């Protein structure tokens, strides 16, 4: 099965709770999962890598793929050996440019087809779609030419700042493809390219379907499943 988990924000990078990361691990082999972290969007930030290993190093078979200090010659083979690929946040436009230089874009598409779970937060969620809203250029703007493994558009951090919702609504009204938005603490789980459910690490975190009908932007709040209180 082809699986993608797109987080509007959250996970070990943004939250103290492990709920979303637990959900991601459950999509593969749990603690036995081989999980590779890509911190490309932050320039392979040492701080982010330390946070990753601190949070997940003891909870799975953890490793990372560095591109600014590249150590793996055959990236495609390395990613195919993983159960999960987890992409961190940062600058989406820069990340995609680096990925394409090193062939990571094609390697990820191949891994997806072979059943490797793809997931990520912020830039690591936006990248799987056709297009979406980014702050890669210092202000909120549209970004096209993403990996396109999921159809349509995406807006992360929907409740993260006051400009996200009106910017996404305007871009949809101006012709951006219909898509999804997710708050910090909300994760959209796609199975075989179709939204299967929305899970959250906070009771008030939301996710939304946003589209344009007759030149008016329509936003529908999606049903969510809170992962706490088990």
The catalytic site residues sit at 122, 157
The DSSP code sequence of 21-70 is HHHHHHTTTGGG-EEEEE-GGGTS-HHHHHHHHHHHTTTSEEEE--TTTT
Which positions ≥6 away from 9 have C-beta within 8 Å? 89, 121, 122, 156, 157, 160, 182, 183, 184, 185, 186
Alpha-carbon distances, residue 88 vs 12, 99, 226 (angstroms): 10, 13, 23
> 94 pairs with which residues across the strands?
none
């Amino acid at each position: 099965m082809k699986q993608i988990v797109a987080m509007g924000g959250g996970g070990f990078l943004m939250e103290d709770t492990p709920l979303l990361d637990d959900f991601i691990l459950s999509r593969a082999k749990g603690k036995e999962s081989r999980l590779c972290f890509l911190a490309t969007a932050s320039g392979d930030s040492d701080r982010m890598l330390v946070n990753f290993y601190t949070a997940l190093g003891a909870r799975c078979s953890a490793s990372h793929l560095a591109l600014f200090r590249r150590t793996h010659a055959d990236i495609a083979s390395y990613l195919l050996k993983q159960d999960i690929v987890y992409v961190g946040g940062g600058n989406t436009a820069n990340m995609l440019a680096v990925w394409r230089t090193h062939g990571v874009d094609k390697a990820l598409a191949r891994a997806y087809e072979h059943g490797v779970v793809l997931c990520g937060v912020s830039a690591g969620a936006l990248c799987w779609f056709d297009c979406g809203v980014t702050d890669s250029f210092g202000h909120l703007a549209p970004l096209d030419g993403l990996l396109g493994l999921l159809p349509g558009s995406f807006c992360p951090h929907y409740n993260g700042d006051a400009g996200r919702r009106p910017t996404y609504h305007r871009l949809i009204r101006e012709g951006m493809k219909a898509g999804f938005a997710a708050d910090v603490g909300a994760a959209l789980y796609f199975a075989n390219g179709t939204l299967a459910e929305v899970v959250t690490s906070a009771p008030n975190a939301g996710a939304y379907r946003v589209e344009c009908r007759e030149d008016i932007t329509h936003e529908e709040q999606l049903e969510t499943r809170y992962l706490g209180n088990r």
